[in-house]
Chain A
Amino acid sequence: MTKPAPTREELRDFFVEELELTDELLPYDAEFAVDLGIDSLTTMELVVQLEKRYGVRLAEAEFAELTSVNAVHAVLSARLGTA
């Protein structure tokens, strides 16, 4: 059921694809809301996709922490164990 944690690169590829960006436009520490103008519902939608992909369920309180690729990577790594 539980899968290995994604690498930062895999996560960035996912967000680049879903948000229709390029690697240059999505540095690892870019904040989805502040730097990219991504609304909170879209972020929530993408996290739901990640939950399904990696077989985890995040608590609502954790959603607020998922503000960048780095942040998502940290939360998922802590949950799944770093590869």
Chain B
Amino acid sequence: MTSGSDGRRPVLTGLGAVSCLGAGVGPYWNALLAGGAAPREVDLPHLNMRATRMYRVPGAAVPEHPRRHAGVPLGAVPRMAVAAALEALDDAGIAGPDRADVAVVMGSEMGNASVQEERRGAGGAGRPRWTPLAVAGAAVGTAIGSRRGNIGVGNACSAGGYALGIASDLIRSGEASVVLVGAADGVTRVGMGGFDRLGAADPQRCRPFARDRAGTMFGDGAAMVVLESTTHARRRGARAYAELAGVAWSCDARHPTAPDPDAAQLVRAMREALADAGLRPDQVGCVLPHATGTALNDAVESRALRQVFGPGTDRLPLFALKAMIGHTSAAAGIFACLTAALVVSRARIPANAPLEQDPDCAVWLPLEGPLRLERPAVLANTCAFGGNNSSFALTGPGGTT
């Protein structure tokens, strides 16, 4: 990159999270260092399936407000998104009238579907009223008083990575100076049952790269980050956690649910994210893989990492986040981004959850820690149904690469 575009490099200046580790980014990080959460039985009625656990947000961490928006009852997903958004803006120090200039990019797949499922599950008590699934973005926009664009993004389990790409492009193109970008997804019978039907749901826990992994396990939650141009952050004296230095997208264009065994497109996404960030593979000190605990996906991603990082893969620490908070679906990419920002800014990598590693997954998962981040960049992946991949790289703010 030349100096002319330096002012438009996007930096992360605020973080917010509601997860199974509780409300707030502080408790989130401490709990990651302490080993994460354990899954619990989901208390939905009619959960007629084998795998019935999730990494659940504690009841006390789910905000009660806002209850409605424009006549639509809001379920836990949009309410958590609003709480995480307010935390992220407070963290960034953006308050009052300045919030009107904040654009919103919101990833969500099942979104407000829980509201419909509650009515349906209650039998004749009330038929589900129509609600748009993707109402969290508007709830956030209203709560913060935004008057800038408000873009809703799907793309299932890679929604977060795509939301980050759009937010990054908004800032690099000069279309926006500050973007609140995040994602949220929740607990739905259909989401759980669908994965159960495909044999992709682990009834015990989420155990990426483990020999006995048996599918993924969902977690609910919302994660939001404030992304702003370097110039804007500098002008208002904001401190940055990290720079979102590169984002790339690709698509397998192959199977509805299974990854391409050659991982050609995931490899391309990683390489282009690094190229976009101006990074060499040996400058990456940690990877947050997509790593869902699904048999084929983890093996394919391991091979893809080896293609990108070569023999250096043996010395490259991976942090398998989903073993600690579950697979937060649309929000997975934002949780990865938020975690990567903390890893970069604190230069520490939490230890992985204990596991007996699958020899088919030849990657390094440090079990002791936290480790120091020895190299400047962190790379993260998201993959999804439809073969949608996204990869993004974070570095220290101010071009510390």
Contact = CB atoms under 8 A, between A and B. Distances in A.
Contacts of A39: 255-256, 258
A41 B199 CA distance: 11
A39 B257 CA distance: 9
A62 interface: no
A40 B259 CA distance: 12
A40 B258 contact: yes
Interface string A24-50: 000000000000000111000000000
Interface residues of B, number: 6
Contacts of B255: 39-40
Nearest to B199: A60
Nearest to A60: B199
B290 to A, nearest CB: 20
A39 B199 CA distance: 16
Interface residues of A, number: 4
A67 B256 CA distance: 18
B87 to A, nearest CB: 40
Nearest to B258: A40
A40 B256 CA distance: 9
A39 B254 CA distance: 9
B299 to A, nearest CB: 15
A60 to B, nearest CB: 6
Contacts of B199: 60
Nearest to A39: B255
Interface in A42-83: 60
Nearest to B255: A39
A33 B256 CA distance: 13
Nearest to B197: A44
Interface in B255-278: 255-258
Contacts of B257: 41
Interface string B232-270: 000000000000000000000001111000000000000
A60 B333 CA distance: 31
Nearest to B254: A39
A60 B199 CA distance: 8
A40 B200 CA distance: 13
A82 to B, nearest CB: 29
Contacts of A40: 255, 258
A23 B205 CA distance: 46
Nearest to B257: A41
Nearest to A42: B256
Contacts of A41: 198, 256-257
B37 to A, nearest CB: 28
Contacts of B258: 39-40
Contacts of A60: 199
Nearest to A33: B255
A60 B256 CA distance: 19
A46 to B, nearest CB: 15
B63 to A, nearest CB: 38
Contacts of B256: 39, 41
A41 B385 CA distance: 12
B76 to A, nearest CB: 30
A28 B258 CA distance: 26
A66 to B, nearest CB: 14
A40 B254 CA distance: 12
A46 B161 CA distance: 34
A41 B255 CA distance: 9
Interface in B295-348: none
Interface in B197-233: 198-199
9 contacts: A39-B255, A39-B256, A39-B258, A40-B255, A40-B258, A41-B198, A41-B256, A41-B257, A60-B199
Given A41-B256, A41-B257, 7 more contacts: A39-B255, A39-B256, A39-B258, A40-B255, A40-B258, A41-B198, A60-B199
Q: Across chains A and B, which 9 residue pairs bring their CB atoms closest together, nearest first?
A: A39-B255, A60-B199, A41-B256, A39-B256, A40-B258, A41-B257, A40-B255, A41-B198, A39-B258
